[in-house]
Amino acid sequence: MGSDVELVVVAPRPTTERLVARAVARVAQLEQRWSRFIPDSDICRLGHAAGRPVAVSDDTLLAVRRVLQAHAETGGRFDPTVAAVMDRLGYDRTFAAVVERPAARQPRTADVAGWDAGTPVVPGCAGITVDDAARTVTLPAVVRLDLGAVGKGLAADIVAEELLDAGADGVCLNIGGDLRVAGTPPGGREWTVSVECPFEPADEVARVALWSGGVATSSPRAKRWRHDGDLVSHIVDPTTGRPLRAAAASVTVLAGEAWWAEVVATACIVAGPAAALATAEALGADAIVVRRRGVVASTPGAGDFLRPHRAADGSGLETG
């Protein structure tokens, strides 16, 4: 997942350390199963199976079911089969390694087969099958999965719910900015989450308070690197197979679960700034959009979550 993780656990005193240790181990296990940069991960083994069924963990079965659902419900705006495009753009290793690679060794647009020949470079989810009885997944030979737009949220959901079942009273698990809150918050009142400004990370554009749910933010400004002279982002438009260009600066989505918030945030970014809010509402979630000139807009339902936040100049608290 290539991210820092922040965990807050509210629990009876003797169990807290055990719960924290369990969460650390479980996140690492999910990383091991879902990373496309770990050769023996479930995701890598699926990609190299050349169309044969592959036995995978229950976590991966769940993840594949979720991405199929997300792809269908977003009309393809969320597409987990962008892995090949990511590789061709140079995002074929951890992001830290991508940005450190010398410019001379970066792939060039001309090397990306299919872009100019009209070949679909994002194959889509048709042909992906999950066999629950056999606990296997089968991908068509040309398809590889990238859980980059769902894995962090889904991991947060899985681990948070497991901690509650193991005795925690409340959990907030934030993986790289995509988070799940559940159970009793510290202080017993609310889980308050700051929404970071996409232009200036030290600032916040909003502050939201939840009792339970997921919050995820998608921003093409978050991961950018040089590719063939252009600054490209990690978010690909599945309809073109190219990195997004005219996109909102960021979309923050509030939903019942973190995986769905992350999926909707990606779908909103791909839909474009003008359609982002309508897309969120159509998918049953609330959203806060920061447009490229810094204008902030939100769905009507997001108003239930907003709290006063620190003004950009640090002078005080703004409402809404």
Partner 1 sequence: MAEGAIKRKRRRHAAAGTRIAVAGAGTGAMLGMVAALGLSDRAAARSAQAAASAGSAPATAPAAKAKSTARRAADKATAAAKAEPVPKRTGQAPTARSGSPAEVATKRFDAAGGGPLTVIVRVHRVERSPRAPASGTTPVRPPVTAWTPRTTAPRTAPTRRAIPAPPPRPSDPPPAPVTRTRGSR
The interface with partner 1 within residues 293-312 (CB under 8 A) comprises 301, 304-305, 307-308
238 touches partner 1 by CB under 8 A: no
**Measured from the CB atom, is 17 or 111 closer to partner 1?**
17
Find the binder of partner 1 among 109, 204, 242, 275 (CB under 8 A).
Answer: 204
284 touches partner 1 by CB under 8 A: yes
87 touches partner 1 by CB under 8 A: no
**Measured from the CB atom, is 34 or 139 closer to partner 1?**
34
Nearest approach in angstroms of CB 295 to partner 1 is 17
Structure tokens, 157:
């959901």
**Measured from the CB atom, is 24 or 246 closer to partner 1?**
24
- Tell me how far apart the alpha carbons of residues 19 and 50 are, in angstroms, rounded to a whole number: 40
- Do the strands 236-237 and 242-243 form a parallel or antiparallel pair, or are they unpaired? antiparallel
Task: For residue 137, report the phi and psi dihedrals to the nearest 5 degrees.
Answer: -125, 140
- Tell me how far apart the alpha carbons of residues 259 and 266 are, in angstroms, rounded to a whole number: 11
Find the binder of partner 1 among 60, 252, 298, 299 (CB under 8 A).
Answer: 252
Total site size for partner 1, rule CB under 8 A? 92
Find the binder of partner 1 among 80, 213, 241, 273 (CB under 8 A).
Answer: 213
Picking from 311, 314, 313, 317, the residue whose alpha carbon sits closest to that of residue 205 is 311
Compose the 13-32 pattern: x for residues touching partner 1 by CB under 8 A, - for all others. Answer: xx-xx-xx--xxx-xxx-x-
40 touches partner 1 by CB under 8 A: no
Task: For residue 174, report the phi and psi dihedrals to the nearest 5 degrees.
Answer: -115, 115
Structure tokens, 282:
């159509």
Nearest approach in angstroms of CB 187 to partner 1 is 6
Q: How far apart are the first and last CA of the chain?
A: 32
- Tell me how far apart the alpha carbons of residues 225 and 211 are, in angstroms, rounded to a whole number: 37
Nearest approach in angstroms of CB 108 to partner 1 is 25
169 touches partner 1 by CB under 8 A: yes
**Measured from the CB atom, is 80 or 123 closer to partner 1?**
80
**Measured from the CB atom, is 255 or 276 closer to partner 1?**
255
DSSP state, 185? P
Give the 3-state secondary structure of residue 54. strand
Return the residues of window 116-155 that contact partner 1 according to CB under 8 A.
148, 152
Around Cβ 254, how many Cβ atoms within 10 Å? 26
Nearest approach in angstroms of CB 256 to partner 1 is 4
**How would you label 174-213 residue by residue, b for 16+ Cβ within 10 Å and e otherwise?**
bbbbbbbbbbbbeeeeebbbebbbbbeeebbbbbbebeeb
Nearest approach in angstroms of CB 213 to partner 1 is 3
Find the binder of partner 1 among 46, 63, 154, 179 (CB under 8 A).
Answer: 179
